[in-house]
């Protein structure tokens, strides 16, 4: 079977490697164009491209997959099947009709929940305890195609979006391996999605990273770990951006810790026994890894060695 693989980030790499180790022929790989990264803004190839080049595969990087030129270039490879995983562009109808066995997508959620570009992060942010991977036929809509196979993956209390990306990428590759034989022999029985149960996971914006200290400690904890390790949440300290990259919920706050924050508003900071605590709308968080404006991430303990905090210090508000 001739397969074209389409994917971009690390999430897609295990699925590509699964195909490369199978009996099938990966005839080409399509990925996003190289993008500037880092402080020097050097052009950096996507992880999928790096794997493809190591295996000597043709790599296509159209800026717009919808362009007639891109569709024609893809059609020249005469794929029997197109497999996508976190490619990053919606495929036009001309591409969807190319392979005789269709186009399938390895999606990081249990569809129809969390359709869209950030299903993994938003599952954690929303406090879900279970997610998974769905392999579906691709259709015109956003992740609306009929479902071929699914697998559940638990979300632990310690998971961040980084750890969950890794778990789901491996689960997706394993599920893809189990799904391919049925696609080849025509035994798969795809199931339509229940539209009434659909939810959406749009790409994250900066506003999704802003911490509202009036929310509960648990909600803020889920927000921060859902954004970590890539960004974390942010707030303001004395008019400057202050990022929170790791934190924990104090489930049994001691009397002394209660006194340190007694009567203070959400966002109020306190130091107790070398620990940096913050009052929320309900409960107390301990900040573990933070990043002050213009500095690298550091432990709260290290930051406190040089910080000058007053009893009235409160996180939040707007930058200057």
Enumerate the domain spans of the chain: 2-197, 206-304
pLDDT surpassing 60 at residue 317? yes
pLDDT score for 40: 78
Which residues is 26 bridged to in the sheet? Answer: 3
- pLDDT (tens digit per residue) in 62-101: 999 999 999 999 999 999 999 999 999 999 999 999 999 9
Residues contacting 112, CB < 8 A, separation 6+: 143, 144, 193, 194, 195, 197, 198, 199
pLDDT score for 309: 81
Task: Report, at the CATH architecture level, how domain 206-304 is classified.
Answer: Roll (3.10)
Cβ atoms within 10 Å, residue 246: 19
pLDDT surpassing 60 at residue 4? yes
CATH number of 2-197, picked from 3.40.1190.20, 3.40.1350.10, 3.40.50.170, 3.30.1490.190 = 3.40.50.170
pTM for the model stands at 0.93
Q: Which of 212, 210, 208, 241 is nearest to 320 (CA)?
A: 241
Residues contacting 204, CB < 8 A, separation 6+: 118, 121, 122, 227, 231
């Amino acid at each position: 079977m001739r397969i074209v693989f389409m994917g971009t980030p690390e999430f897609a790499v295990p699925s590509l490697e699964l195909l490369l180790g199978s009996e099938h022929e990966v005839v080409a790989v399509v990925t996003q164009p190289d993008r500037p990264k880092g402080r020097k803004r050097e052009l950096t190839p996507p992880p999928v491209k790096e794997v493809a080049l190591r295996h000597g595969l043709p790599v296509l990087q159209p800026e717009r997959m919808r362009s007639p030129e891109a569709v024609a270039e893809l059609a020249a490879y005469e794929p029997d099947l197109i497999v996508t995983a976190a490619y990053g562009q919606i495929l036009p109808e001309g591409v969807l009709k190319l392979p005789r066995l269709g186009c399938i997508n390895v999606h990081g959620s249990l569809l129809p929940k969390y359709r869209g570009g950030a299903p993994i992060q938003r599952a954690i942010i929303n406090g879900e305890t279970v997610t998974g991977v769905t392999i579906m036929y691709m259709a015109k809509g956003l992740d609306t195609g009929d479902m071929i196979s699914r697998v559940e993956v638990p979300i632990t209390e310690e998971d961040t979006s980084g750890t969950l990306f890794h778990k789901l990428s491996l689960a997706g590759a394993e599920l893809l391996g189990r799904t391919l034989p049925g696609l080849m022999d025509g035994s798969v029985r795809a199931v339509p999605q229940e539209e009434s149960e659909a939810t959406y996971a749009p790409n994250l914006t900066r506003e999704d990273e802003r911490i509202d200290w009036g929310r509960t400690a648990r909600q803020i904890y889920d927000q921060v770990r859902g954004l970590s390790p890539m960004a974390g949440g942010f707030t303001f300290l004395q008019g400057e951006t202050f990022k929170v990259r790791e934190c924990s919920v104090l489930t049994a706050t001691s009397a002394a810790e209660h006194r340190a924050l007694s009567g203070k508003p959400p966002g109020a900071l306190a130091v107790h026994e070398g620990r940096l605590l913050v009052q929320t709308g309900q409960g107390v968080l301990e900040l573990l890894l933070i990043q002050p404006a213009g500095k690298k991430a550091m432990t709260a303990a290290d930051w406190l060695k040089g910080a000058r905090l007053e009893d009235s210090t409160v996180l939040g508000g707007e930058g200057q």
